[in-house]
Amino acid sequence: MTVLKRYVLRLFMSLKYITANVVDRNNGRIVATASTVEHSIKNSLECGRSCNAKAATVVGEVLAMRLRVEGLEEGQGRGIHVDVNKEVEKKGFKNRTKVWAIVNALKNNGVKLILEDNDENPSQTSF
């Protein structure tokens, strides 16, 4: 059985900034984004020169709010796919708390997430 992964969460992290995007894989467009680069988020944080898990949580909450405004918190019934292990490997082991902070903030704000294993089959863990 092939699971269609229309909406996928992608994370980008540097020492100074965190960006989270939800991408529509059908047409390659970003449907919602949140980042610590934005002035409204940056001014509400006390990151200094680096971003921490608290900043990641704020990014997740803002992204959840923007998904609700777009009507995509359910991912059009299919959910938003997240491969947490891939994101942690891509970002490095020390950033795993930031990755999980974003995922938990999205879940706590009512976004339907589908967490995936490293295999081709999703783990069917839906939140």
**37-55 per-residue burial string, b: 16 or more CB within 10 A, e: under 16:** eeeebbeeeebeeebebeb
Stretches in the chain below the pLDDT threshold 50: 1-2, 121-124, 126-127
Domains of the chain in sequence order = 7-115 (3.30.420.100)
CB 72 within 8 A of CB 7: yes
pTM, to two decimals: 0.83
pLDDT of residue 67: 92
pLDDT of residue 122: 47
pLDDT of residue 103: 94
pLDDT of residue 11: 93
